[in-house]
Amino acid sequence: MTSSGVQSVRRVAEVLQVLSEGRRPMSVSGIARHVELPVSTTYRLVASLESAGMVQRLPDGNIGLGVATLDLANAARRHTEVGILWAIRPTMQWLVQQTHETVLLMMPAGSQAVCVEQVYSFHPVRLSYEVGRAMPLYAGASNKVILAFLDRRRRESIVADADGKALIAGGTVSRDALERELEDIRAAGYCVTDGEINPGTTGLAVPLTHKKRVLASLTVAGPSERIRTRITPYLGLLQQAATRLDGSWG
């Protein structure tokens, strides 16, 4: 593939990533701002994606992900199911039995983390994530613990790109502060955050690694009023679970 072909593929991927990160459809000009391309170039990319069914133009003119992406998502889940979920799900169920809180499995995808599996809490008031939901790696325990253990070059690129971006909890990302926090996470081997993705919730996460490479994160999450008093025992259980799963990656 020529360098121009590689560049086109990268731009298409960036458009799809921007749309997947957003919680609602976007205008072509809005997409162009996020991917830092001229509107004319973005319009051509969107038109190509629309013809392939990867995006759709809504009645108000905004652009959303197309139904063809559902096929890709389902295929990705089937491949993940074959690869690792059969081995990991019993341990996730064990964690829920021990903590009575929701347990999440997140995997890195570019500059995001995607929820590939969850096992629900027994409580009527509980945290619930949509399987397939993608979130930036710079916010939330599940995501930050992955970012902290990525290889240095990839981590630094993502952190640099995150600098100044808005946070759901308010404020913006500070590159220096994020780098210091990631260093602390690597030293501790876990991450704890409050309300960075969902207000009023606390998440505790550990990395799942294989041959010194982070492949996923395992998280216990729920209402802060329940989690905050149980952080130490829950972290112990998460670390036990990570040790159990060390041989699951093949």
Could you tell me where the DSSP H helices lie in the chain? Answer: 3-21, 28-35, 39-51, 68-80, 86-99, 141-149, 152-162, 175-188, 224-227, 231-244
Phi/psi at 100 (5° precision): 60, 25
- 4 versus 12: which is more confidently predicted? 12
* pLDDT attached to residue 169: 76
Q: Using CA atoms, how far apart are residues 180 and 144, in angstroms rounded to an integer?
A: 12
* pLDDT attached to residue 2: 62
- 102 versus 121: which is more confidently predicted? 102
pLDDT (tens digit per residue) in 155-175 = 999 999 898 888 877 788 999
74-247 has the same fold as 3-66: no
Q: Which residues pair with 103 in a beta bridge?
A: 119, 220
Local structure of residue 171 (DSSP, 8 states): S
Q: Using CA atoms, how far apart are residues 239 and 188, in angstroms rounded to an integer?
A: 11
Question: By mean pLDDT, which of 62-76, 86-100, 235-249 is the weakest?
Answer: 62-76
Over residues 200-218, the mean pLDDT reads 91
Residue 77: pLDDT above 70? no
Q: In the structure, what pLDDT confidence band is assigned to residue 121 with cuts at 50, 70 and 90?
A: confident
Per-domain residue ranges of the chain: 3-66, 74-247
Q: How many CB atoms lie within 10 A of CB 131?
A: 13
Q: In the structure, what pLDDT confidence band is assigned to residue 198 with cuts at 50, 70 and 90?
A: confident
* R_g (Cα) of the chain, nearest Å: 19
Q: In the structure, what pLDDT confidence band is assigned to residue 224 with cuts at 50, 70 and 90?
A: very high
Over residues 194-201, the mean pLDDT reads 89
Q: Which residues pair with 102 in a beta bridge?
A: 221
87 Cβ contact list (under 8 Å, min separation 6):
245, 248
CA distances in angstroms from 170 to 24, 54, 175, 185, 198, listed in the order given: 19, 32, 16, 22, 12
Q: In the structure, what pLDDT confidence band is assigned to residue 8 with cuts at 50, 70 and 90?
A: confident
Residue 223: pLDDT above 80? yes
Q: What architecture is domain 74-247? A: 2-Layer Sandwich (3.30)
Over residues 186-204, the mean pLDDT reads 93
Contact 113, 146 (CB under 8 A): yes
Q: What would the two tokens of residue 151 be?
A: 């290889």
* pLDDT attached to residue 241: 93
Over residues 120-128, the mean pLDDT reads 72
Q: What architecture is domain 3-66? A: Orthogonal Bundle (1.10)
- 9 versus 217: which is more confidently predicted? 217
Q: In the structure, what pLDDT confidence band is assigned to residue 9 with cuts at 50, 70 and 90?
A: confident
pTM: 0.71
